[in-house]
Amino acid sequence: MLTIYKSGCDGINELELDQLEKGAWLELVNPSHEELETVAALTEVQLDFLTAALDEEERSRIEVEKTEMLVLVDIPVLRSNKDYDTLPLGIIITTDYIITVCLEVNAVMADFCSYNTKFFSTFKKTRFLFQILYKSATLYLKYIRNINRRTDELEQHLRKSMENEELFKLLDLEKSLTYFSASLRSNYIVTEKLLRLRSTNQVQHLIKMYEEDEDLLEDVIIEYKQAIDMVEMYSHILNGMIEVLSSIISNNLNLVMKLLASVTIILAVPTMISSFWGMNVPVPFNENPLGFAFVFAFALLVTLAATYWLWKKRMF
């Protein structure tokens, strides 16, 4: 899907292909090959730049050519059942346009709509780029806090009962934090490179930075650094929790096995005694009318003694 926007005096306006003007923002979401070729022809952007973000395994990076620059970053995505993932977002800046490419509709770009026109302008391509990066960083922080809250909820459930479903949810959260950690580090490297490139002649004709833009880029770097620190901290907490739960499960299994062994020993005592008096040979109290009572009392006494001994040994 291809949508073209341009900021104006009355807010942001949606344009048609034949109305494309300088300062426009072209948003591509899961585009077809025809749409990619059309945008490449109209903006004179390399097709490789446009298709870079369509590979889910593509890593964050910056590529600079004479008339265009590609900034590829990973953005956080909320899947179903509170699962989190990352997705590549390509931001292409030319002398006349800014182009964004992504495989899915996402929460990062959803904020840049007609309701928030006073917060961004398609003309200010550099600031728009940094605003997208800043939104991505803040969304990472939001999702990381959500993961932490979800972890606390699962911990409370697991304190009451060990269910496989809860453990699988913890593993999903651990996987999400792993994805976030890798993506955040790559994005942080991209922002650091942007900070270094701002004063070089290589991109000055594409990125024109004013004092406010530099402050915004520094805020982006700070937010990414904070997100990286939070991911590392919560990953350690989650890994420690999973290890503790594994130890608890093993310990509970040992307790159950110990209890079953104790019960087996206790039941074996009267079984063994009754087996002796059940043999088809002469046995004590064979002719005594109270023989059964004597044998039962003896078996009960020995069983109670064995039970007391096992209890003293903390076998149950």
pLDDT of residue 198: 67
Pair 144, 293 in one domain: no
Pair 127, 196 in one domain: yes
Burial of 150 (0-12, 13-18, 19+ CB in 10 A): middle
Pair 81, 29 in one domain: yes
Pair 244, 260 in one domain: no
pLDDT of residue 169: 79
pLDDT band at 6 (very low <50, low <70, confident <90, very high): confident
pLDDT of residue 203: 64
Which residue, 128, 133, 114, is CA-closest to 12?
114
pLDDT of residue 196: 79
Pair 291, 164 in one domain: no
pLDDT at 99 over 70: yes
The domain boundary residue, chosen from 250, 269, 285? 250
pLDDT of residue 117: 56
**Mean pLDDT confidence for 49-65:** 83
**Mean pLDDT confidence for 57-71:** 83
pLDDT of residue 204: 63
**pLDDT tens-digit readout, 232-286:** 888 888 888 777 777 777 777 787 888 888 888 888 888 888 777 777 667 776 7
**pLDDT tens-digit readout, 120-155:** 677 788 888 888 888 899 999 999 898 888 888 877
pLDDT of residue 37: 86
- For the chain, what is the domain count? 2
User: Partners of 77 in the beta sheet?
Assistant: 85
Mean pLDDT score of the chain, rounded to an integer? 81
pLDDT at 219 over 80: yes
Range of the domain at 306: 254-312
Pair 139, 69 in one domain: yes
Alpha-carbon distance 268 to 63, whole Å?
Answer: 77
Pair 205, 114 in one domain: yes
Pair 244, 274 in one domain: no
**pLDDT tens-digit readout, 104-128:** 888 888 877 655 556 767 778 888 8
**2-6, 79-83, 93-97, 236-240 — which is least confidently predicted?**
79-83
Pair 152, 72 in one domain: yes
Which residue, 163, 178, 9, 196, is CA-closest to 83?
178
Pair 155, 181 in one domain: yes
The domain boundary residue, chosen from 196, 224, 250? 250
Pair 91, 214 in one domain: yes
Pair 147, 275 in one domain: no
Residue 95 belongs to a domain with what CATH number? 3.30.460.20
The domain boundary residue, chosen from 223, 250, 277? 250
